[in-house]
Amino acid sequence: MLKKREVSLLLMMLLLLQSPLYAVSINEIFSKVVPQIPQIFLDTVMLGNLYFLIAIGITLTFTVAKFANFAHGDVATVGAYAAYLLYNFAVIGGVVNGLAVELGYISTIGGLIILSIWYILRRRGYGNTLLALGIPIFLTGLTVLYGCYVGANLVDLIIVAATTSAVTSLLSYLLVYKPLKTRNASLVQLMVASIGVALFIRYALYEMTWYSRTYFNTEIAYQNFGMPMTSYQGWFINGTLVIVNATAALYFMNKIPAIKIGAGGIKLTSLSVEEYYKLPPQPNISFTDLYIWSTITVIVIVLGLMLLFKKTKIGKAWRAVADNPILAAACGIDVESVINLAWLVAGALAGIGGLFWAIRTQIYPELGWMVLLNAFAVAVLGGLGSFWGTFAASYILAFAEQLGVSILAAINPQFTGYRFLIPFSVFLLVLYVKPEGLASIKKRKA
């Protein structure tokens, strides 16, 4: 068998032999890709945010469950659908949807009942699972009622997506994985069971779309989310980045809000319609509200998880259970509560990621499945169980994909259909060099 060094030399020789075929077009490709670098970095942040929100849930559940959960993507789809239905159907034609109100009250009252049972049983040392279920169910009900009577905004949608997916994630553990683990199921059996859970959720969503189409004459599959997004465009002019609210320009406002970022700092300003149309027709960068909201969400989540793991007792207990659950139980840690929390947090993050994916693309029952493979590539590349490894891998693969697509488009626009091969090629290459993933770098330095 060939050794790693011999394989590397062989690949280099093949590239050198083929280099004359591409040398002619390299300058042309370079000239097309370089102007897109600012946009590539901006899109990397956006795509990396979405990869992180999905992949970090896989990492968190793996720390305590020790198996790859293939239902994680479909859990994300549940949250996306919950937010989509709330945003589009809580109020129809200015009239509050009675069915949505009923679901809101049922969820709120049901959550209160579950929490009341937990309060009664807590002194006897029982009912922690009821607490884990009661809180997100109660919050889901309140959020639905708020959306019905006040109106659903993005924060409202984030909450309902997170809580709905959190409940789905925890129920999948309590009803499927936990009983299997008590019967000493192997990791392979648990993974196969997770595929079954994924199929159950996915086709339940398909049934929901069929029911909506048949009885309500409403199509809720392969639809745009419908949330209006503000568009922004930016130009580099004399060393200053000018970012303009392009959506405001469409309405021919007298003063178009703008931001100037340069050596003198950041300045809020405005442009007249005439000044706006004097700008170059092709902006250097363009983005929407979703870029901003997803970045803020990821920052808040990263800071929250850091505080959870470093500064709280439950976070330290989580780390102890991840390292050695038997020893953690011997030290008096409630292992089951920690595992419940892990599934809740993982599901909540998946729901938020699913919501952002749906807003960016479309809502359909296979949304989570289409994202899952990339999320697994991120989680494995980062080193399963490594928080910071997953964080870094999210943006590494996102950058590779965005840069690769730009290069492929410069060669031939038809080649962009191969974009899904790019992150997996980088994934395989890094694992070839470091099979343990990015987490091994920190461990070896330590």
Across 185-199, 232-246, 325-339, 427-441, least confident range = 427-441
Q: How does pLDDT run across 209-247, given as a tens digit for each residue?
A: 999 888 888 889 998 998 888 899 999 988 889 999 888
Handedness of CA 201, 189, 180, 178 (dihedral sign): negative
Mean pLDDT of 57-86: 93
Q: What is the pTM of this model?
A: 0.89
- Which pair of tokens denotes residue 114? 């579950």
State residue 7's pLDDT score: 56
State residue 440's pLDDT score: 64
Quick check: 108 pLDDT over 90? Answer: yes
Quick check: 438 pLDDT over 90? Answer: no
| DSSP H helices in 256-386 | 273-277, 289-311, 313-323, 325-330, 335-360, 367-382
Quick check: 113 pLDDT over 60? Answer: yes
Q: How many CB atoms lie within 10 A of CB 126?
A: 12
Contact status, residue 83 vs residue 410, Cβ threshold 8 Å: no
Quick check: 170 pLDDT over 80? Answer: yes
Confidence of residue 271 (pLDDT cuts 50, 70, 90): confident
71 or 6: which leads in pLDDT: 71
Q: Which of 269, 283, 271 is nearest to 237 (CA)?
A: 283
State residue 343's pLDDT score: 94
Q: How many CB atoms lie within 10 A of CB 257?
A: 17
State residue 253's pLDDT score: 65
Residue that has been written with the tokens 């020789």 in this structure: 13
Quick check: 22 pLDDT over 60? Answer: no
Across 14-23, 161-170, 187-196, least confident range = 14-23
Handedness of CA 299, 305, 309, 312 (dihedral sign): positive
Mean pLDDT of 112-124: 83
Q: How does pLDDT run across 177-220, given as a tens digit for each residue?
A: 999 999 999 989 999 999 999 999 999 999 999 998 888 888 89
Quick check: 8 pLDDT over 90? Answer: no
Quick check: 171 pLDDT over 90? Answer: yes
**What mean pLDDT value characterizes the chain?**
86
Percent of the chain with pLDDT over 90: 45
State residue 125's pLDDT score: 60
Confidence of residue 127 (pLDDT cuts 50, 70, 90): low
Q: How does pLDDT run across 365-406, given as a tens digit for each residue?
A: 999 998 998 898 898 888 888 888 999 999 999 998 998 888
Percent of the chain with pLDDT over 70: 91
